[in-house]
Amino acid sequence: MARANVNTAALVKEKLHPAILISLASLALALVLLVTSCASTADGAEQTPQTVVNIGYFEGRVQRDPHDFIAYAALGREYAQRGRETGDVRYYEQSLHSLEKSLAIMPNEYTTLAQMASILNTHHRFADAKPLAEKSIALKPNKGLGYAALGDAELELGNPEAAKAAYLKMAELEPALASYSRLARFYQNKGDYATARGYWQKALESSDGAPVENIAWIAVQLGHMSIDEGNAKSAKVEFDAALRRFPNFIHAVAGLGRAYAAEGNHKKAVAYYQKALTQRQLPEYVIALGDSYLAMGRMKDAQNAYSKVESLYAFYEENGINTDIQMAVFAGDHGDPTVAVARGRAAWAARHDFAAADALAWALYKAGDFTEAKKYADITLKEVANNPLYLFHAGMIAHRLGDTQARAHLAEALKLNPNFSPLYVKDAKATLASLK
C-alpha cells in the first residue's frame, strides 16, 4: 500500500513545549496533553492548529526513540484528528502507519487496538476493524473506546441493532461527546430526527475540552439534518455557527453551498462550493459543484467538475480508503452504468448496509435491471423510511415496474424536502405528475 507523506512538523514555525502527563499502568496508555489552544505567529495574525503542534511534538519523540510506542499511538490519534479537520486523506494513512508501529512494539495495548479499529473504519475496512474492536473490549470491557469502534464497524457491515447496542454501552460507560454523537448519527441516518437532535444536544453539553473541530462538526450535522427536513434557512444558521467556532471549516462552507442549492440559489451555492474547494478538492463537493452548474444550465462547467472526480477517488484508494459506494453513486448519476453496477456489487459484498443497498439499487436502475433494483431499494427503505433521495430512487424503480408504490414514494420524497436534489427534483415532479 502506497504511503503518502505529509510533513506536518515543518508547519510548526517555532519550537513548542506542550506539558505532557503520561501514566503507564498494566500496559495501559493514558495521554493528557496540557497545552494552550493554539500557537500564534510572531505578529499574531495566524495561528498554528493545536493538532499540528501535537504532531510536531510526537514526531520529534519517535525520531529520538523509534521504540516509543506511546508516541506512535499518540501520533496515530493526532494524524486522524488532523485528517478530520482538513479533509486530507493522507493523514489517515499516516495514522494507520503510526498505529501499526505502536502495535508492533506493544501488541496488546488496549487504547492502540481500539484506535487501530477506528482508523480501519475510516479506511472503510470494516471487516478488519470489527475483530480488533472486539479484542480491545475483551481487554477492557469497562472502557468506551472499543465499543465506539465496534459500533462503527457493525453499522457499516449492515448490523444496525448490534451497532446501537455498542453505542448504548459506550454511553453507559462514558456519557460524553463521542458516545452521544454516535447515537445522534445513528438516529439521524434512520431519519429519527427528534431523537437525533436530543443526542446532539447531549453531545454539545458534554463537549468541554473537546477539539473545536469536533464541536463545529455537531453544528454541521444539525445543518444537514435541517436541509433533509426541508429547512434550508435553519441549516444556514447552523453552518454559520460552525464557522464561528472553527473559521473556514471546509464542511461548514460546503454546507452553506448545499443550503443555498436547496433554496434553488445555485449562483450562491457555486460560490460556497468553490470557496470550500480552494481548501481541498474533496470529491463530494466537486460533484455538488457540478450538480449546481448543471442546474444552472452551465453544461461545460459541470462536465469540467465531473471530469475530476474519478482521479480524486483514485487518490483516496491509493491512500487505503475504499470508495466503492461513492463511485457507484457517481457512475450511476453521471457515468457508465456498467461501472456503477460493478462498484455497487463490490460495496454490497463488503457491507450490507442501507447506503450500499441504495447505491446498488440506483446503479441497477440506470443499467435497466429494474426487478433486481427493487430488491435493493426495498432493503434500503426497510432501514431508512424517510430519506427523500432514497424514496426518489425507490419511486423511479417502482414506476419502471408499473408498481403502484411509485406515486407514494415520489410524493413522500417531495413532501419531506421539495428541493432534495438539484439533479432529480424536476424528474420527481414530472414523473409524479404523469402518475396523477
CATH of residue 118: 1.25.40.10
Place of cell 462552507: 253
Given the DSSP bridges, would you call strands 47-49 and 38-40 parallel, antiparallel or unpaired?
A: antiparallel
pLDDT band at 39 (very low <50, low <70, confident <90, very high): very low
Are 115 and 174 part of one and the same domain? yes
pLDDT higher than 70, residue 17? no
Long-range contacts of 129-134 (CB under 8 A, 24+ apart): 129/153, 130/154, 130/157
Are 18 and 88 part of one and the same domain? yes
Helix, strand or coil, per DSSP, at residue 211: coil
Phi, psi of 33 (to 5 degrees): -95, 115
Task: Give the total number of structural domains in the chain.
Answer: 4
Q: 50: closest CA among 107, 87, 11, 76?
A: 11
Are 193 and 242 part of one and the same domain? no
Neighbouring CB atoms inside 10 A of 418's CB total 14
Tell me: the pLDDT tens digits for 305-333?
Answer: 999 999 999 999 998 888 999 999 999 99
Mean pLDDT of 121-130: 93
List, in sequence order, every residue forming a beta bridge with 30; answer none if it has no partner: 23
The pLDDT, as a whole number, for residue 406 is 97
Distance between CA atoms of 369 and 361, rounded to whole angstroms? Answer: 9
Are 80 and 120 part of one and the same domain? no
- Supply the range of the domain harboring residue 230: 220-313
Are 31 and 89 part of one and the same domain? yes
Mean pLDDT of 250-267: 96
HSE, side-chain direction, 13 A CA sphere, residue 9: 11
Quick check: is 188 in a domain?
A: yes
Distance between CA atoms of 331 and 309, rounded to whole angstroms? Answer: 10
Are 392 and 426 part of one and the same domain? yes
pLDDT higher than 60, residue 276? yes
Mean pLDDT of 161-187: 96
Q: 285: closest CA among 265, 264, 300, 271?
A: 271
Are 131 and 30 part of one and the same domain? no
Neighbouring CB atoms inside 10 A of 345's CB total 17
Are 273 and 350 part of one and the same domain? no
Domain boundary among 92, 107, 122: 107
Quick check: is 41 in a domain?
A: yes
CA distances from 231 to 181, 190, 197, 226, 280 (A): 22, 18, 15, 5, 27
Mean pLDDT of 417-422: 89
Are 330 and 431 part of one and the same domain? yes
For 216, the enclosing helix (H) or strand (E) is helix 212-228
Quick check: is 333 in a domain?
A: yes
Would you give the DSSP letter of residue 13?
Answer: -
Give the predicted TM-score (pTM) of the model.
0.79
Are 327 and 430 part of one and the same domain? yes
Are 290 and 337 part of one and the same domain? no
Place of cell 452504468: 337
Q: Are 261 and 269 in contact (CB under 8 A)?
A: yes
Given the DSSP bridges, would you call strands 38-40 and 19-25 parallel, antiparallel or unpaired?
A: unpaired
The pLDDT, as a whole number, for residue 49 is 83
Given the DSSP bridges, would you call strands 47-49 and 28-34 parallel, antiparallel or unpaired?
A: unpaired
Neighbouring CB atoms inside 10 A of 317's CB total 16
The pLDDT, as a whole number, for residue 4 is 40
Distance between CA atoms of 190 and 375, rounded to whole angstroms? Answer: 19
The pLDDT, as a whole number, for residue 86 is 81
Distance between CA atoms of 121 and 397, rounded to whole angstroms? Answer: 31
Cα radius of gyration (the chain)? 22
Tell me: the pLDDT tens digits for 192-230?
Answer: 999 999 999 999 999 888 888 889 999 999 999 999 888
Quick check: is 66 in a domain?
A: yes
The pLDDT, as a whole number, for residue 48 is 79
Q: Is 244 exposed, middle or buried (0-12, 13-18, 19+ CB in 10 A)?
A: exposed
Quick check: is 318 in a domain?
A: no
Neighbouring CB atoms inside 10 A of 195's CB total 15
Phi, psi of 42 (to 5 degrees): -60, -40
Distance between CA atoms of 101 and 75, rounded to whole angstroms? Answer: 10
Are 91 and 141 part of one and the same domain? no
The pLDDT, as a whole number, for residue 46 is 52
DSSP string, 52-118: HHHHHHHHHHHHH-TT-HHHHHHHHHHHHHHHHHH--THHHHHHHHHHHHHHHHSTT-HHHHHHHHH
Quick check: is 199 in a domain?
A: yes
